[in-house]
Amino acid sequence: MFEIVARQEMAQGTIISNWVKAPKIAKKAKPGQFVILRANEKGERIPLTMADTDPEKGLINIIYMVVGKSTALFKTLKVGDSYLDVIGPLGQPTHLEKVGKVVCVGGGTGIAVLYPITRGLKQMGNYVYSVIGARSKDLLILEDEMKAASDELFICTDDGTYGHKGFVTDVLKKVLTEHQDIGLAVCIGPVPMMKFCSLMTKEFGVKTLVSLNPIMVDGTGMCGCCRVQVGGKMQFACVDGPEFDGHETDFEELTLRLRSYLPEEKASYDLFQKEHAPGCSCQK
Amino acid sequence: MTEEKAAPKKEKIPRQKMPEQLPEVRRKNFEEVPFGYTPELAQKEAERCIQCKDPRCVPGCPVEIDIPGFIRLIKEGDFEGSIRLLWEKNALPAVCGRVCPQEVQCEGLCIIGKKDEPVAIGNLERFAADHQRLHGRDILPPKADPTGKKVAVVGSGPSGLTVAGDLILKGHDVTIFEALHAPGGVLVYGIPEFRLPKEIVFSECNYLEKLGVKIECSQVIGRSDTVDELLEHFDAVYLGVGAGLPVFLKVPGEHYIGVYSANEYLTRSNLMKAYDFPNYDTPLVRGKNVATFGGGNVAMDSARTALRMGADHSYIIYRRSHAELPARTAEIHHAEEEGVEFLFLTNPLRFLGNDDGFLTGVECLRMELGEPDSSGRRRPVPVPGSEFVVDIDTAIISIGSGANPLLTQSTPGLALNKWGYIVADPKTGKTMKPRVWAGGDIVTGAATVILAMGAGRLASNSIHDFLTYGW
Ligand SMILES: Cc1cc2nc3c(=O)[nH]c(=O)nc-3n(C[C@H](O)[C@H](O)[C@H](O)COP(=O)(O)OP(=O)(O)OC[C@H]3O[C@@H](n4cnc5c(N)ncnc54)[C@H](O)[C@@H]3O)c2cc1C
Ligand SMILES: Cc1cc2nc3c(=O)[nH]c(=O)nc-3n(C[C@H](O)[C@H](O)[C@H](O)COP(=O)(O)OP(=O)(O)OC[C@H]3O[C@@H](n4cnc5c(N)ncnc54)[C@H](O)[C@@H]3O)c2cc1C
Ligand code: SF4
Ligand code: SF4
Ligand code: FES
């Protein structure tokens, strides 16, 4: 059993942070890797990236957005409760190297995935520009952490309640134009955001990493559920990724495949909400 | 043959059929198809064995069970004696009785089969094991004194379970590491409930735990720990990680929603219990028109699962003809009875889908049988201009599996063959890496439960020798 030792609600309760006791995983995990969690015997296996780890205390940090039944179920877990399974670390660690100047772009919960990578890049001695965005000010997460992990931090909100009004791509364009010597871009967030960031960096000829989030089952390369097309080749995101070259990724296919179970997911979530109706703040 | 002469002229007992659920009923539920023998039926069937002095059936069994011996004990009503005898050679008789391809192994060679139907060796083995599990007393075999040696077994499929069971009895300290959240390998994630109830697999794993084997699930070796790290804490390591890599058709359109590898389809329905969605959280597309590509046991399991998930049509699309189907005869027969529709001599060209990304059909080409190929089977050759479309909303690709590189890539010093399988001595299971053994599907490629167990047995003997004598 994997106990939750600290819990925090972010972005008005739409995003939850858990510190979970998993000493073995905490010791091994590297930036970019993820875990698969199951809340209980009937639960789905849900992949979440480790936003941080504390190897001394044996803790890992996951930060997730409540989007459906399983994440809503996770949200009901309190400090002292446990996940039944936490499996990992899975996936390839980010290849961190010194390239000089880099730009890290994060949107929504993608910022949680981006944060350890940004910190890693900075520790390698890179000069880090970061651009993070959310729909509005209340939904922005990890601003302080990202500030500490970057040399320059830019913020955008879709509604202009904080920082630049508009999309992260606007600011990305500005950064890329002003600093032609940027050698690497890391863009993590919703699929459309990653797609448009990649299109933009391609114009500037800047190598780009994205972190793909296809639906997964086992996370060990056994089922093929997480297959994505990268450079015209079938890749399994759970073992070959989750990070891939943004210029080679087929985002359309990923978008379609993420919709595989929309009716089932809705039915499952509705049922869950009915069962957990009173006093639950997670309804959209 | 002396046995044939010895066969008495007394009244001939026909092979006793195992009672089973009717096809119309079972195609809608996930309960096991055959109910099993009653003690009366088992004893009657046991009488059919003429107790050959030089039994032909035994060499047909990869682990050389004393077949006449265990059958005689059933005939005499000594069911406990019978299971004890089976256990000497086979740690999972309830499983093998159900899933062995008996027609090409033990039963295929049974002398009675020359003129009549062979003795139902598999059914009898299953009976002895089920009777013990349901009605027998708890019997634990004697265990040797602790040796202080530690063995790590990676993978909890039939080969890993065999190694663990053998070595714990020899006094070694055994820990199994399993990547998934439940032990059993293909027996839990692949083979469906209606063919092998999971309760049986769990009871076998419980039995090992009672003997002292530690089973650590959710440990992906290569990620959680590497083999080299295991070698720091264990005296020997056995790799029984199976052939868990899905193979796709490599035709256009495999990304459409509704196209599954058999591994995914079966894992969702078995391990994750998607058939009980939304009571269980994992979903599965419930196709109305489902096509399974392939002709082996995995294909039969997929097509029959699809029926139980509510399909109106469940097709098996196979390149060759009925005669070449590699699945067990019993599975083909059950599939036919349940209404699986076979499209033989048919090869998929590409999948078709709509704008939302959902699968709508598969374009196929008819084949005809040409000259025999290297496997001796007649090679299917395409009939030009014979393209046609089958309307489907779900496709299950079941054309085999490959070696999953996750563990082997992270283990320097292992020799691999050109397909990525681990090279191991067929007599001992020793790999090129010191203190590391391997066996089962990760060495042979996808094979059978009993062969994986046989490989486990050879390796456990070799590991024991190494731990005891140093070689
Ligand atoms: C490698 C990886 C790392 C991830 N890291 C994070 C993270 O750090 N924070 C975070 O908020 N989310 C992360 N995700 C996405 C997260 O796994 C999904 O949001 C979650 O599974 C949704 O489950 P649900 O039951 O709550 O919602 P559902 O109702 O099941 O689904 C809502 C939507 O989430 C997506 N989804 C559903 N099931 C899965 C699945 N098994 N895997 C991936 N996506 C799925 C689909 O697009 C679906 O439409 C990650 C995904 C992957 C593959
Ligand atoms: C659907 C289906 C139906 C079948 N039907 C039959 C049948 O009727 N009769 C028959 O004889 N055979 C059948 N087979 C074949 C048979 O099941 C296999 O040959 C047999 O299970 C192989 O055993 P194994 O121990 O080598 O590996 P597996 O049973 O594959 O077990 C390997 C285990 O290792 C685990 N593992 C993998 N990688 C790692 C890692 N890195 N770290 C930790 N654990 C890991 C896996 O999760 C798995 O649990 C069938 C197979 C399938 C898929
Ligand atoms: S283990 Fe398999 S091959 Fe051997 S006797 Fe039993 S059913 Fe036959
Ligand atoms: S099972 Fe068949 S071959 Fe084996 S001993 Fe009995 S009669 Fe002879
Ligand atoms: S999740 Fe099954 S192969 Fe990646």
For B181-227, the pLDDT digits (tens) are 999 999 999 999 999 999 999 988 998 999 999 999 999 999 999 99
CA distance to B122, B175, B177, B205, B372, per residue, from B230 (Å): 38, 11, 10, 22, 47
Percent of chain A with pLDDT over 70: 97
CB contact under 8 A, A42 and B273: yes
pLDDT of residue A184: 94
Residue where the block lists tokens 């290569």: B222
Q: Tell me how close the Cα of A68 comes to any Cα of chain B, in angstroms.
A: 11
State whether residue A40 sits within 8 Å of chain B by CB.
Answer: no
d(CA B81, CA B71): 10
The ipTM, to two decimals, is 0.92
Overall average pLDDT of the B375-400 stretch: 92
Which of A53, A215, A238 has the most ligand 1 atoms within 8 A of CB, as the residue to mutate? Answer: A215
pLDDT at B286: 86
Asked if the Cβ–Cβ distance from B255 to A24 is below 8 Å, we say no
How confident is the prediction for chain B on average, in pLDDT? 93
Tens-digit pLDDT profile for residues B442-470 = 999 999 999 999 999 999 999 999 999 98
What integer is the mean pLDDT of A201-216?
Answer: 95
CATH number for domain A94-204, candidates 3.40.640.10, 3.40.50.80, 3.30.70.640, 3.30.300.130: 3.40.50.80
Cα-Cα-Cα-Cα dihedral sign, residues B180, B184, B189, B194? negative
CA distance B455 to B471: 18
* Antiparallel, parallel or unpaired: β B401-402 and B245-246: antiparallel
Which residue do the tokens 């944060």 mark? A115
3-state SS record for chain B = CHHHHHCCCCCCCCCCCCCECCHHHHCCCCCCCECCCCHHHHHHHHHCCCCCCCCCCHHHCCCCCCHHHHHHHHHCCCHHHHHHHHHHHCCCHHHHHHHCCHHHCHHHHCHHHHCCCCCCHHHHHHHHHHHHHHHCCCCCCCCCCCCCCEEEEECCCHHHHHHHHHHHHCCCEEEEECCCCCCCCHHHHCCCCCCCCHHHHHHHHHHHHHHCCEEECCCCECCCECHHHHHHHCCEEEECCCCCEECCCCCCCCCCECEEEHHHHHHHHHHCCHHHCCCCCCCCCCCCEEEEECCCHHHHHHHHHHHHCCCCEEEEECCCCHHHCCCCHHHHHHHHHHCCEEECCEEEEEEEECCCCEEEEEEEEEEEEEEECCCCCEEEEECCCCCEEEECCEEEECCCEECCHHHHHCCCCCCECCCCCECECCCCCEECCCCEEECCHHHHCCCCHHHHHHHHHHHHHHHHHHHHHCC
Which residues from chain B sit within 8 angstroms of residue A88, using beta carbons? 220, 223-224
Average pLDDT over residues B132-139: 88
> Is A224 in CB contact (< 8 Å) with chain B?
yes
Average the pLDDT over B92-109 and give the result. Answer: 94
Is residue B57 within 6 Å of ligand 4 at its C-beta? yes
| Mutate-to-test residue for ligand 2 from B103, B161, B191, B421, highest number of ligand atoms within 8 A of CB | B191
pLDDT tens-place string over residues A38-49: 999 999 999 999
Q: Which atom from ligand 2 is nearest to the alpha carbon of B221? A: 42
* The residue to which tokens 């996936």 are assigned: A91
CB of residue B163 inside a 6 A radius of ligand 4? no
| CA angle, residues B309, B313, B315, in degrees to nearest 5 | 100
Q: How many CB atoms lie within 10 A of CB B132?
A: 21
pLDDT at B1: 43
Rg (alpha carbons) of chain B, rounded to whole number: 23
Mean pLDDT over A242-262 rounds to 93
Cα separation, B70 vs B317, whole angstroms: 40
Q: Which residues of B touch A233 (CB under 8 A)?
A: none
Task: Chain A: give the shortest CA distance to residue B24, in Å.
Answer: 27
- Which residue from A218, A82, A66 is spatially nearest to B282, judged by alpha carbons? A218
Site to probe by mutation for ligand 1, drawn from A19, A67, A220, A269 as the one with most ligand atoms within 8 Å of Cβ, is A67
On whether the CB atoms of residues B49 and B80 are closer than 8 A, the answer is no
CATH 3.40.50.300 for domain A2-90, yes or no, is no
d(CA A220, CA A231): 22
Contact (CB<8Å) B267/A223: yes
Distance CA B132, CA B139 (A): 9
> Ligand 1: does its nearest atom lie under 6 Å from the Cβ of A71?
yes
> What is the rounded CA–CA span in Å between residue B257 and residue B285?
9
- Helices B198-211 and B158-169, axial angle in degrees (round to 10): 30
- Residues with Cβ within 8 Å of A200's Cβ and at least 6 positions away in sequence, in order, are A169, A172, A173, A176
Please give the average per-residue pLDDT across B67-79, as a whole number: 97
Separation between Cα atoms, residue A13 and residue A76, nearest integer Å:
11
Atom 3 of ligand 4 has which residue's CA nearest to it?
B110
Looking at the CA of residue B223, tell me the nearest atom of ligand 2.
41
Cα separation, B408 vs B432, whole angstroms: 12
The residue-averaged pLDDT of B395-423 equals 94
Place of tokens 């949200």: A75
Chain B residues close to A256, C-beta within 8 Å: 255-257, 356-357
Sign of dihedral through CA atoms B204, B209, B211, B214?
positive
| Of the candidates B57, B168, B79, B64, the residue with the CA atom closest to the CA atom of residue B450 | B64
* Residue whose token pair is 């001595």: B425
Cα of B468 vs its chain's centroid, Å:
32
- Stated as kind and residue range, the H or E segment containing A203 is helix A191-204
Contact B404 A221 (CB under 8 A): yes
Backbone angles phi, psi at B129, to 5 degrees: -70, -40
Q: How far is CA B427 from CA B386, B421, B436, B440, in A?
A: 49, 17, 14, 13
What are the distances in angstroms from CA B51 to CA A36, B59, B73, B79, B354? 54, 15, 11, 17, 62
Q: CATH 2.40.30.10: which residues of chain A? A: 2-90
Task: Mutate one of A222, A260, A270 to test the B interface: name it (highest B CB count within 10 A).
Answer: A222
| Distance of alpha carbon B323 from alpha carbon B342, whole angstroms | 12
Residue among A34, A10, A21, A15 at smallest CA distance from A219: A34
Interface of B with A (CB under 8 A): 179-181, 217-218, 220, 223-224, 244-246, 248, 254-257, 260-261, 263-264, 267-268, 272-273, 277-283, 285, 356-357, 404-406
CA dihedral B459, B464, B465, B470 (to 10 degrees): 110
**Which ligand number lies closest to the CA of residue B6?**
4
C-beta of B121 in contact with ligand 4 (< 6 A)? yes
Does A283 have pLDDT greater than 50? Answer: no
Of all protein residues, the one whose alpha carbon is nearest to atom 2 of ligand 5 is A223
Length of chain B: 471
Q: Which ligand is nearest to the CA of B97?
A: 3
* Residue A36 scores a pLDDT above 50: yes
State the span(s) of chain A assigned CATH 3.40.50.80: 94-204
Under the phi-then-psi rule, with left for phi > 0, alpha for psi from -120 to 50, and beta for the rest, what region is A47?
beta
Chain B, nearest residue to A233 by Cα: B250
Would you call A269 helix, strand, or coil by DSSP? helix
Chain B residues with CB-CB distance to A42 below 8 A:
273, 279-281
- Res B334: pLDDT: 94
* Interchain contact A25–B (C-beta under 8 A): yes
Counting from 1 in the atom list of ligand 1, the atom nearest the Cα of B281 is 25
CB contact under 8 Å between B244 and A259, yes or no, is: no
Total length of chain A: 284
Rounded (to 5) percent helix, strand, coil in chain A:
30, 30, 35
Coil, helix or strand at residue A196: helix
Residue of A nearest to B407 (CA): A220
Best of A87, A90, A223 to mutate (most B CBs within 10 Å, chain B): A223
pLDDT score recorded for residue B451: 93
Whether A22 shows a pLDDT value over 50: the answer reads: yes
Where does ligand 5 bind, in terms of residues with CB under 6 Å?
A 216-219, 221-226, 236, 238
User: What is the average pLDDT score of chain A?
Assistant: 92
- pLDDT, tens digit, for every residue of B264-310? 999 999 999 999 898 999 999 888 999 999 999 999 999 999 999 99
B104 Cβ partners below 8 Å, 6+ apart?
Answer: none
pLDDT of residue A284: 41
